Amino acid sequence: MNIFKLELRMHAKATVIWTLALLVLVAGFAFGFPIISKNVAAMNSILQMMPEGLKKSLGINVIDMSTPIGVFGFMFMYITLVGAVQAMTLGLSVLSVELRDKTADFLLSKPVRRSTIVHAKLAAALVCLLITNLVFLVVVRVALDILSTAPYSFSIFLSLVLSVLFIQLFFLSLGALISVFLNKMKTVIPLALGVVFGFFIVNLLNESLKGRPLTLFSPFSYFSTGSIFGNNGFAMVWLVLNTLLVAAFTAGTYIRYLRKDVPSV
């Protein structure tokens, strides 16, 4: 039984749907930019009327809305939100689906180690995210090249696109860790939305505060729009922290799954 291939087939439809959801946002950016660029003065007037805290929380205090990369940066917050929900849903479901479907006995009775099961399932989940991000990267790059009449910062573009993947890895590993501690989970959507929006709200609050004191507590803050545009890329310290957390969550998932008592049906 090839668990890796089976998992890919199981999550193929969801991966396509989430990828299309991200592409819808990219399409909104592509179609919205010409309208915004023709009304830059009106847009700037609206932005000036907004409270400074709100502008910081939305990351529009350091971006130029008259450029394609600026408008893409404005939409980046919502893109990462969609990507995070995809990853959290995948993380919560990939190791718990057998418990929900009451097929855990069948899987664990096979001559395959539990560690191999975790390897295969997490690898399949990672491939799903990589496919989503590869399509996303290509489409965004093409859109920016078509819309841009002047050179744009490739460093900012790459930082924005890679940030989606880094945030997704955080939520994939966190979701997997949470799932191995739960024996009863009829559906993953409510929990996924609750966790993601919780971190998202912390990020909004953090961006509105002087000095961003809550950065440590939200992966969205590690790769915020304002930080990327202000520093021409993300800060390595937050990338390292994100990587360490992903490694810790993944290690915890392995340890718990290998020792977990799976209730028989």
57 half-sphere exposure, CB direction, 13 A CA radius: 15
Tell me which H or E stretch contains 199: helix 189-208
pLDDT digits (tens, 9 = 90+) for 194-216: 999 999 999 988 888 888 899 99
pLDDT digits (tens, 9 = 90+) for 34-53: 887 777 666 666 666 666 66
Cβ neighbours around 194 below 10 Å, total: 10
Q: Identify the CA nearest to 160 among candidates 229, 91, 114.
A: 229
* Amino acid letter, residue 171: F
What proportion of the chain, given as a percentage, has pLDDT over 90?
A: 52
pTM, two decimal places: 0.91
Look at 232 and 183; give whichever has higher pLDDT.
Answer: 232
191: CB partners within 8 A, 6+ apart? 92, 178, 185
The rounded Cα 77 to chain-centroid distance in angstroms is: 10
75: CB partners within 8 A, 6+ apart? 25, 28, 29
With bands split at pLDDT 50, 70 and 90, how would you rate the model's confidence at 189?
Answer: very high
Q: Is the dihedral of CA 103, 105, 109, 112 positive or negative?
A: positive
What proportion of the chain, given as a percentage, has pLDDT over 70?
A: 84
pLDDT digits (tens, 9 = 90+) for 50-60: 666 666 666 66
The rounded Cα 132 to chain-centroid distance in angstroms is: 11
The rounded Cα 56 to chain-centroid distance in angstroms is: 21
pLDDT digits (tens, 9 = 90+) for 75-112: 888 899 999 999 999 999 998 876 665 555 545 556 67
Q: Calculate ∠ Cα 78-84-85, nearest 5°.
A: 95
